[in-house]
Amino acid sequence: MTKDKEINQYIGIIPGLPGAHTQAPTLDQLYANLQEVTQLCLEEMTDEEIEQLPEFIGFRQISIAL
């Protein structure tokens, strides 16, 4: 998730799930939108396509100095 300051919207994507991206003015709405878009994307996929999705291992936030 990121925040686009130019359009004042939060942007969210589900890595590895084609088409699963959305935006919203609040984080609560973004979470709801991400749940909905994930469900819609999965409903359009075959069982074989779902089985081929990458396995989620985890995430980690890192800091860098600029």
Tell me how far CA of residue 37 lies from CA of 6, 26, 28, 63, in angstroms: 23, 16, 14, 29
Residue 31: the pLDDT is: 97
Which tens digits make up the pLDDT trace of 12-59?
999 889 999 999 999 999 999 999 999 999 999 999 999 999 988 888
Number of other CB atoms surrounding residue 34 within 10 Å: 19
Domain boundaries, the chain: 2-51
- Token pair, residue 62, equals 């890192």
Residue 65: the pLDDT is: 94
